[in-house]
Structure formats: C-alpha cells, structure tokens
C-alpha cells in the first residue's frame, strides 16, 4: 500500500499495465496497476472493428484505479451515477470509492472503482468505464451523442430512434439476423459535418419475451445462453455478445441516409409500415427525443443535414422481418 502521508494524492503510484484500443475513431490508452480492471477493458472492447473517421485520430488516456472493497451488502446495487462539472472537468459520481473525472482539454480521464464492483461487471463497464470512453470521445472529437441504434449496408446506415420500449433493440436484432450490418444498439455517435455514424458493437440488450420471433436455431441458442442483466428500471434483459453471435458488424462508420422513429403502434396497412415525418414535426421530435444531444455544439449542423436526408416513422407489422424489409427499402432509396 502507498504511504498516504508522503503521497496523499497518489501522484507517484505509477500504473503497472497498459492496453490500447481503437474506439469511436480515437486511439485510447488505458493504464492501471490492476490487471483485473484492464481485463474489464478487454472484455468490453476486444475484437471490435477499428472504426476511423476522416479526422486526425488523437490519443485519449484513461487511468483506472482500484480501491479496497467497501463494506457493502453482498449483491447490493450500486448507487446511480450523479454528474457534475466545473473548472473544465466533468464528473460522474456513484460514491466516495466509485467515480469518474474527465479533463477533455487534456484528453484524459480517471476512473476510480472499488474491488466489490468487479462483482458487478455490468455496472462497472456501463456506468463507469463506458461513461469515461463515450464522454471523452464525444468532447474531443466533436461527435453528437445519440441514444438510439444504427444498422446499415454497404457503407450506408439508418439511425433508429424512439421511446424506451418502442422496439429499437428488437428491430436492431432482427436487422442483424436478416442481412444488415450492425453498428450500435444503445448509443450512436455522429460526426455532424459528414453524418458518419460510429458506435461500439459489443453487446445487444433485448428482453427475453421478445425472442419468440427468432426462428434460427443458432441465433436462438446464442441468445438463450447469454447472461441476464437487470437495468435500473427493473427490466431484465439478455446481454448477448455481438462478437460471438451470428450476423455482421459494421466494419467502418456508416453514412446516414436518414433517421427512423420506431413506433410501438401497429400499422393500419400491413404493406405500408414506413412513412415520412413532416418537417416541423421532425425537428420537434428529434429535439424532444435527444434532449442532451440537442444541447451539444454540433447539434444544429447534424439536425439540418439529417432533416435534408429524411426522417421517417416505422410502425409495427406482423413480424419484425417486415420492418427490416422496410429498412432495406430505405437504404436502397425505395420508400
């Protein structure tokens, strides 16, 4: 243990290990004295397509620091992350032993976590490590961060938006199983000047009760054998590793042809699932659906270009593959 009197801020405790990953068009270096924390990084980002954007890719540095185990009840859910900012820093805090501090101007971040969080890999990865990765890349590269999914084909992509429970993840799953390239399921990052979209295609989260339409036995086995995670909302989902499943991950950023709001409503005409959203409605819906992204510097350019390319609404058909067929038509320019 370090001498806390001589080095109270742990400024001289140099990390012993380092790994590098290409994520979201940037080069990340992760340093830590804990091999277990770097294994979390490997589990999250190993084997992903190394997306590159048409900008100079800077190196971003994240240090991960492990603190002793807290005296917390076994299996207790971690506190939710609270965010704060000031003095050029961005912070996400669970408690005194689990927090993230980001300095975008210096392209650096510090992730501090306690040993007991290693028993909560979903929360550790999603709420601390990915928080640091996504926020740092967004701020340094000037990307627009969107809550949504993205699939495509031959370098062209469609952004899938909608309220929670509308079926974005289920549609993304069936798009993967029916020939479309998978870019992201929960978080999409778009370069506002080019509308190139990137993401991290590591895991897919779908509710078990939506899997009855999956007829392919290989795909069903992959999903059935996936671990179950519990979202803070209380919903249980399958966490399927996309790098071990069927289908194809997008090898490069996708050029967005437009956006689709996924609706939980059934279409009145089973042959016409996809329809345009009027200009004024499209602007209002985009801003309401992406309230955080709409405050970011690149939003206006992103919104203007996306509106020009087209915003649509997709209602449900008899089977998810009907919706996938509509996305194929949109990507082909037939809608």
Q: Of 200, 53, 22, whose CA–CA distance to 141 is shortest?
A: 53
In eight-state DSSP terms, residue 211 is G
DSSP for 237-269, written as a single string: EEEEEGGGSSSEE-SS-EEEEEEEEEEEEEPSS
pLDDT at 335 > cutoff 60 = no
| Phi, psi for residue 197 in degrees, rounded to 5 | -110, 140
Contact 203, 239 (CB under 8 A): yes
Mean pLDDT score, 75-85? 91
Q: What is the pLDDT of residue 83?
A: 97
Query: What's the mean per-residue pLDDT of the chain?
Result: 93
The CA–CA distances, whole Å, from 262 to 158, 189, 316 equal 12, 19, 8
Q: What does the pLDDT look like over 147-197, one tens digit per residue?
A: 999 999 999 999 999 988 888 999 999 999 999 999 999 999 999 999 999
The predicted structure's pLDDT at residue 215: 87
pLDDT of residue 12: 75
Q: Which residues contact 297 (CB under 8 A, 6 or more apart)?
A: 142
Local structure of residue 185 (DSSP, 8 states): S
pLDDT-based confidence at residue 212 (cuts at 50, 70, 90): confident
According to the model, what pLDDT value does residue 4 have? 66
Residue 109: φ, ψ to 5°: -150, 155
Provide the percentage of residues in the chain whose pLDDT is more than 90: 80
Contact 228, 27 (CB under 8 A): no
Digit-coded pLDDT (tens) for 275-312: 999 999 999 999 999 999 999 999 999 999 999 999 99
Q: Residue 110 has what pLDDT? A: 98
Higher pLDDT, 71 or 89: 89
Tell me: pLDDT of 266 over 90.
Answer: no
| 277 touches 237 (CB < 8 A) | no
pTM of the model: 0.94
Q: What are the residue ranges spanned by the domains of the chain?
A: 17-141, 145-331
Q: What is the pLDDT of residue 165?
A: 80
Query: Residues near 10 by Cβ (< 8 Å), separated by ≥ 6?
Result: 2, 65
In the Cβ-directed half-sphere of 185, how many Cα atoms lie within 13 Å? 20
pLDDT per position as a tens digit, 38-68: 999 999 999 999 999 998 888 999 999 999 9
pLDDT classification of 238: cutoffs 50, 70, 90: very high
């Amino acid at each position: 243990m370090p001498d806390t009197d001589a080095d109270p801020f742990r400024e001289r405790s140099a990390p012993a290990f380092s790994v590098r990953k290409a994520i979201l068009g940037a080069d990340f270096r992760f340093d830590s004295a804990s091999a277990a924390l770097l294994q979390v990084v490997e589990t999250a980002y190993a084997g992903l397509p190394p997306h590159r954007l048409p900008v100079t890719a800077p190196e971003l540095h994240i240090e991960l620091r492990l603190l002793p185990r807290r005296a917390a009840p076994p299996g207790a859910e971690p506190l939710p992350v609270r965010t704060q900012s000031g003095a050029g820093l961005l912070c996400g805090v669970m408690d005194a032993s689990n927090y993230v501090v980001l300095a975008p101007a210096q392209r650096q971040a510090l992730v501090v976590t306690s040993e007991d969080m290693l028993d909560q890999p979903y929360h550790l990865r999603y709420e601390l490590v990915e928080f640091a990765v996504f926020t740092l890349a967004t701020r340094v590269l000037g990307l627009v961060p969107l809550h949504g999914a993205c699939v495509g084909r031959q370098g062209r992509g469609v952004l899938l938006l909608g309220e929670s429970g509308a079926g974005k993840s289920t549609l993304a799953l069936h798009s993967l199983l029916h020939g479309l390239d998978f870019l992201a399921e929960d978080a999409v990052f778009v370069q506002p000047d080019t509308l190139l979209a990137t993401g991290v295609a590591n895991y897919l989260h779908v509710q078990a009760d939506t899997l009855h339409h999956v007829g392919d036995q290989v795909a069903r086995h992959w999903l059935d054998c996936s671990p179950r995670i519990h979202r803070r909302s209380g919903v249980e989902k399958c966490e399927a590793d996309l790098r071990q499943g069927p289908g194809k991950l997008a090898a490069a950023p996708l050029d967005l042809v437009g956006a689709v709001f996924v609706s939980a409503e059934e279409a009145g005409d089973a042959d016409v699932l996809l329809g345009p959203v009027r200009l004024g409605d499209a602007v209002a819906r985009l801003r309401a659906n992406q309230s955080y992204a709409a405050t970011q510097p690149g939003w206006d350019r992103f919104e203007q270009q996306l509106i020009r390319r087209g915003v649509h609404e997709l209602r449900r058909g008899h089977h998810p593959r009907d919706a996938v067929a509509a996305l194929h038509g949109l990507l082909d320019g037939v809608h």
